[in-house]
């Protein structure tokens, strides 16, 4: 699992739960569910970003 940080507005590479990370890299304890191809939502505070916490395992969005 990569720790690629995504900023608000960037397109989500995978569907799943994204954890909100503080400006210095600390955990905030908050998560957002985002679908692949959708923009990342705004964060509660400036300087925060997202990292993948749990990818979706339901197969939605997979191309045949």
pLDDT, one tens digit per residue, over 23-61 is: 998 999 999 999 999 999 999 999 999 999 999 886 655
Does residue 11 belong to any structural domain of this protein? no
For residue 64, is it within any domain?
no
| Band of residue 5 on the pLDDT scale cut at 50, 70, 90 | very high
Q: State the pLDDT at residue 60.
A: 59
Q: 34-52: string of b/e by CB count within 10 Å (b at 16+)?
A: beeeeebeebeeeebbbbb
Residue 1 falls inside a structural domain: no
> Is 6 contained in some domain?
no
Q: Is 10 a member of any domain?
A: no
pLDDT of 56: 87
> Which pLDDT band holds residue 1 (cuts at 50, 70, 90)?
very low
Q: Is residue 20 part of a domain?
A: yes
Higher pLDDT, 42 or 1: 42
CB 5 within 8 A of CB 39: no
Number of folded domains in the chain?
1
Tell me whether residue 51 is in a domain: yes
Beta-ladder partners of 27: 21
Q: Which domain holds residue 45?
A: 16-55
């Amino acid at each position: 699992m990569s720790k690629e940080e995504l900023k608000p507005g960037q397109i989500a590479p995978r569907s799943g739960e994204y954890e909100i990370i503080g400006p210095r890299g600390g955990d905030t304890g908050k998560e957002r569910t985002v679908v692949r191809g959708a923009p990342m939502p705004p964060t509660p505070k400036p300087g925060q970003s997202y990292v993948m916490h749990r990818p979706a395992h339901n197969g939605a969005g997979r191309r045949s």
